[in-house]
Amino acid sequence: MDFNQSQNNFESATGSPPGTQPGPAQIAPVGKEGTTRSPRKNRSGWKIFWGIVTVISVLANIMLLILLFTVVVFFSASRRVDYGEKVIQSGPRNSKIMLVRLEGVIDSRQADDISEQIKTAQEDSNVKSLILQVTSPGGTVSSSDRIHNEISEFRKESGKPVVAFMQGIATSGGYYTSVACDKIIAEPTTITGSIGVIFGHLVLKELMEEKLGIKAVIVKAGERKDWPSMFEPVTEQQKQYLHERLIDPAYERFISLVAEGRPMLTMEQVRILADGSVFNAEQALEENLIDQVGYQLQAIDSAKELAGIQKARVVEYEKHFSLANWLSSGSKTSLNIDKNSLLELASPQLLYLWQP
């Protein structure tokens, strides 16, 4: 190898011409093993960054736990519905007539809602009387009876009057709840009455066996355990049993409460009217089933007169928006059918309901 080639090779390896000494910056550090080491990087900035992230994460988890605890406490404590007031007729704030609406088929949800409103009204010292505005063909026996009892207890405990105002239809369970009031007023076109009990259930034996080829197998202890059954026709013995145990007691209770709420009628007079017949407002007035034919204005005047007041603000309750109500209502849809709903649909129903 000649000299020029050796010089070029040296310059390529050292980056310096031959004969010169490399400077400090040109000398790469050598480790114990003879390997080259890179300069140590400054990691303090990354440590600060990850420290901040860790602190934020811990705080976020603590906040989530506090929020979860608050929601649990909120849902467990908020059993009472928060109501606002909608003014129907203006008047003094310290003299109110509360309008409570009973609309549609009476079921357990209706009974719960009416119960909450009556309790709220009872706690308000400014409420001087109630108007129960009924637009209902009736409903289940137990729910109708609960509403009747709530009105009776309100009158007894508060000493404040309650006026029933029938609008359109107030039959069977709708009339049952009305007789708990001090006075009954019905619009001229109202249909009322239908004092009686109806019981019904589905019999699917023929459909299942002959159409679908399905045969039900029932294993029971106790002859009457499944009376009445949707898988077998109802016998005369079963009908008599249902009358004695369910229908007749509910019917007699209906008659006795009408006689109690309408003191101008005797038990025998009520029994004559209690054949399930319906009456228009004028006929009901003639039979002493109601006290007056009129409109909402007459119901308001009667409520003021019974309460002994000249002026009053007429209001009705409306539910305030709340997270609990929104979440509970959002979880229930018309397509949400669970086993309890199916059981309710399949179970026999004892009703104070007008079913023409």
What are the residue numbers of the active site?
172, 225
β-pairing verdict for 83-89 and 313-319: antiparallel
Rounded to whole angstroms, the Cα distance separating 321 from 67 reads: 20
Cis bond before residue 228 (omega within 30° of 0): yes
Residue 120 identity: T
User: Whats the size of the chain, residue-wise?
Assistant: 356
Say whether 88 sits in a helix, a strand or coil. Answer: strand
Residue 301 identity: D
Rounded to whole angstroms, the Cα distance separating 100 from 163 reads: 10
What b/e readout covers 89-123, taking b as 16+ CB neighbours within 10 angstroms?
eebeeebbbbbbbbeeebeeebbebbbbbbebbbe
DSSP string computed for 206-271: HIIIIIS--------SSTTTT-S-TTSPPPHHHHHHHIIIIIHHHHHHHHHHHHHH-TTS-HHHHH
Say whether 295 sits in a helix, a strand or coil. Answer: coil
Token pair for residue 249? 């007691």
Alpha carbon distances (Å) from 151 to 58, 68, 113, 289: 54, 39, 13, 18
β-pairing verdict for 162-171 and 138-140: unpaired
142 Cβ neighbours under 8 A, 6+ residues apart: 108, 111
Token pair for residue 124? 């308000």
Task: Name residue 85's beta-bridge partners.
Answer: 317
Alpha carbon distances (Å) from 231 to 22, 199, 203, 218, 236: 106, 17, 6, 9, 16
